[in-house]
Amino acid sequence: MLLPSLSLLAQMLRAWSALWCARVPPQRPTQHPSNHLSLVRFRAVVGDNGTATAKCRVNPDVHSRRRLWGDSGGHCSDPTCRMYLFPDDLDVDFGELAHIIPAMPDGPRGIPVIEMPLRERAHHSNLILLCANCHTKIDKAPAVYPAKLLHGWKRQRVEEIRIALATPTFRTRSEVRAHIQGELDSNRAIHERYGPIGDPYLEGNPTLWRRHVRSTVIPNNRAILRVLEANRHLLTRDEQETLAVYRVHVEQFESRHVLDDFTTGTERFPEAIGRILLDTQEAGSR
């Protein structure tokens, strides 16, 4: 009987060691298997240089799949497509769960496993629901569709759904103003007490400012923006222009204080937002 060479045995050992390191922990017997991430395939590959490697892939669990469909509203997440993914009278869908950072390091927009473990790549935060055409498009041209852009598509879709379904609409301007008054007052109080004056953080309390920005100001900004967008029909033309500036401010503010990205610009808070939806007499008293 022929025995394998020592080099071949070494390659086999390296491959199986890699597979063992990439294994998924055993599932608890009290939980359903579909609620866990699982390896869907693995193989040992010997490259041209004779080096053996192992490849593993982790599937999204049922919670991530359900979350992704809910966040997308059943439509392709590409804002230039928006295809409805359920054809009429058919028990099928045309949706595909696309990876932003690929399931394997050598895929489109790939990064090393040390920067993002395989398990995290199957989480809903790294997935985006697309139609088949858009899925192919983003993976064929990863430089044109980088991870930052795809994450932006996800955030935009979630925001659109919140505006459409989870944000109240009103009949009068005064009702809208009353609804956002609390958030406006809270943000103003935080800025007056802790916010920077002049150049960032030369004055004020930077530690408390950053803390309140993330816990209160940013959520309030988004809530105000959603309500104003949903009730845009009650705004004057000047107020609509102010809202457009406020939207830019909110996005840049989040980039600076959440992502530490100061390259997006520094559009200042438009003071007219503090007077939006107020009658002339009411606005003059503030």
Q: For 77-89, how does the pLDDT look when each residue is reduced to its tens digit (9 = 90+)? A: 999 999 988 877 6
The amino acid occupying position 140 is K
Q: Which residues of 240-255 are buried (b: 16+ CB within 10 A; e: fewer)?
A: eebbeebbebbbbbbb
Percentage of the chain lying above the pLDDT 70 cut: 73
Q: Given pLDDT bands bounded at 50, 70 and 90, which one contains residue 256?
A: confident
The confidence score (pLDDT) of residue 7 equals: 62
Mean pLDDT of 184-206: 78
The confidence score (pLDDT) of residue 48 equals: 41
Q: Given pLDDT bands bounded at 50, 70 and 90, which one contains residue 71?
A: confident
Supply the pTM of this predicted model.
0.55
Helix, strand or coil for residue 6? Answer: helix
Tokens 């956002």 correspond to what residue?
Answer: 180
Mean pLDDT of 241-269: 85
The confidence score (pLDDT) of residue 37 equals: 42
Cα 226 → chain centroid: 17
Task: Give the start-to-end residue ranges of the domains of the chain.
Answer: 60-166, 171-284
The confidence score (pLDDT) of residue 6 equals: 56
User: What is the rounded CA–CA span in Å between residue 251 and residue 249?
Assistant: 6
Instruction: Evaluate whether 125 touches 97 at the Cβ level (below 8 Å).
Output: no
Mean pLDDT of 27-56: 41
Angle (deg, nearest 10), helices 62-72 and 147-165: 70
The confidence score (pLDDT) of residue 210 equals: 86
Q: Would the pLDDT of 22 be above 70?
A: no
The confidence score (pLDDT) of residue 276 equals: 97
Radius of gyration for the chain, computed over Cα atoms and rounded to the nearest angstrom = 25
Q: Would the pLDDT of 108 be above 70?
A: yes
User: What is the rounded CA–CA span in Å between residue 84 and residue 74?
Assistant: 6
Transcribe 97-144 into DSSP letters: EEESS-SSTTSTT---TTTS-HHHHTSGGGEEEEEHHHHHHHHH-TTT
The confidence score (pLDDT) of residue 32 equals: 36
Least confident of 62-71, 97-106, 113-122, 197-206: 197-206
Cα 239 → chain centroid: 29
Nearest CA to 268 out of 195, 182, 186 is that of: 195
The confidence score (pLDDT) of residue 62 equals: 87
**SS3 annotation, 133-194:** HHHHHHHHCCCCCCHHHHHHHHHHHHHHHHHHHCCCCCCCHHHHHHHHHHHHHHHHHHHHHH
Mean pLDDT of 264-280: 86
Mean pLDDT of 167-190: 95
SS3 content of the chain, % helix, strand, coil (to 5): 50, 10, 40
